[in-house]
Structure formats: C-alpha cells, structure tokens
Amino acid sequence: MTGKLITLEGVDGAGKSTHIPLIADLLRAKNVEVILTREPGGTALGEKLRELLLHETMSADTETLLMFAARREHIEQVIQPALTRGAWVLSDRFTDASFAYQHGGRGVAAEKLRSLETWVQGALQPDLTVLFDLPVEISCQRLAGARDPDRFEQENTAFFQRIRDAYLERAAKFPQRFRVIDANRSVSKIQDELKQIISML
C-alpha cells in the first residue's frame, strides 16, 4: 500500500493558503487518511529551522542546505511513514520551491540542488504538484499589504519574477505531475478547477 504525495507551489502572495482547506476536504472525501504539512517545517526540528530560514541573515548556500536538512527530517519523520501506511500527504511546498527560490531567486547552481535532491529524497517525487501561477505585479501588490514580512517576502519584484519563471520552467520540464493554475481569477473559479484536478486522482 502506498499513498500519494501532493505538493502546492507558487510565489509568495499567490494565494495557495486560501485553497488548502478545500483541497484537504476534497482528498478526505476520497476516504483516505490525509496528512496536511508544510515546508520548511512539518516536524519539530523543521519548524525551528523554518524560524531561522525566515528571519536570520545567511548565505544562499546555507539557506539551501538548511532547506534540504529540514526536508530530510520531514521525509524521514512524516512523509515516508505516511506514504508507507497508505496515507495521502498534502504538503504546502516541497523541492520545486528550492529550485524556484534558491536556484531561480538566489542563483545557487541547479547542479548543487540536484545532488541534494538525490541525497535527501532518493527516488521520491510528488505524484501531483499544483502550481498557483500569478503575475508578479499582483503577488507583490498583495505582499505590500502584509504585516511583518519575512526575509523572503521583503524581496523585490525582480526576485519574484525569477521565481515565477523558474516555477514555470519546472512545470514545463515535468508536465506529467504539474498542473498550473491561473491564480489571477476569483476564488470560486480556482476552486472549480481544483475540484476537477483532484477528481482525476
């Protein structure tokens, strides 16, 4: 028995958190055990690393290594055991975020990320990745209203443009698992599309 790994991605401000409860409900309606989790985070140690990642100054390499350290713990403690017992794991971000933010955004070589990916997750890949795609002018406008922005949310439009481009490149490279959602629409339109996507699983 093996479960499924479903990941949600998008630039900050793309609105994915609005849709997580609906996606979780749609999955539960399939009568499967659903584990809701997030990266960086998802374990006690991972949540501590998240605090550091979101608030402490560090180099791009350190940021990358800490993201993957948190991910290793997450896979070992949460994701793999859940998949083994047949549960479906819904993770708010996973490795595509490292390719988008650390490679696309910060310029860390993709080769470095690929070796970390192999080390940390072996053959494990998401069964489905939903990418909430939004023009950066709109996501940046949304972030401008946010209280107390973290280290990533404080970045400029060019940084988010590179992230959006890197996400779209990942989606084009792995079309079998990616579904790109136009997040520049009403919540109800987006939810209709999510229902359709989840019904295919």
Residues in contact with ligand TMP by CB under 6 A are 12, 38-40, 67, 92-93, 97-98, 101-102, 152
Q: Identify which of residues 3 and 42 has a Cβ nearer to ligand TMP in the complex.
A: 42
Residue 94 beta carbon to ligand TMP: minimum distance, rounded to whole angstroms: 6
Residue 193 beta carbon to ligand TMP: minimum distance, rounded to whole angstroms: 20
d(CA 153, CA 140): 9
Q: Identify which of residues 30 and 141 has a Cβ nearer to ligand TMP in the complex.
A: 141
Structural contact between residues 165 and 104, judged by C-beta atoms closer than 8 angstroms = yes
Which candidate, 182, 144, 179, 172, places its Cα nearest to that of 160? 144
Collapsing DSSP to helix, strand or coil, 152 comes out as coil
The CB-side HSE value for 23 (13 A sphere, CA atoms) comes to 28
Measured distance between the N- and C-terminal CA atoms of the chain, rounded to whole angstroms? 16
Structural contact between residues 29 and 112, judged by C-beta atoms closer than 8 angstroms = no
Residue 155 beta carbon to ligand TMP: minimum distance, rounded to whole angstroms: 9
Residue 29 beta carbon to ligand TMP: minimum distance, rounded to whole angstroms: 25
Q: Identify which of residues 34 and 66 has a Cβ nearer to ligand TMP in the complex.
A: 66
Q: Identify which of residues 1 and 173 has a Cβ nearer to ligand TMP in the complex.
A: 173
Residue 160 beta carbon to ligand TMP: minimum distance, rounded to whole angstroms: 10
Q: Identify which of residues 116 and 194 has a Cβ nearer to ligand TMP in the complex.
A: 116
Helices (H), 36-125: 44-55, 60-74, 80-84, 95-97, 110-121
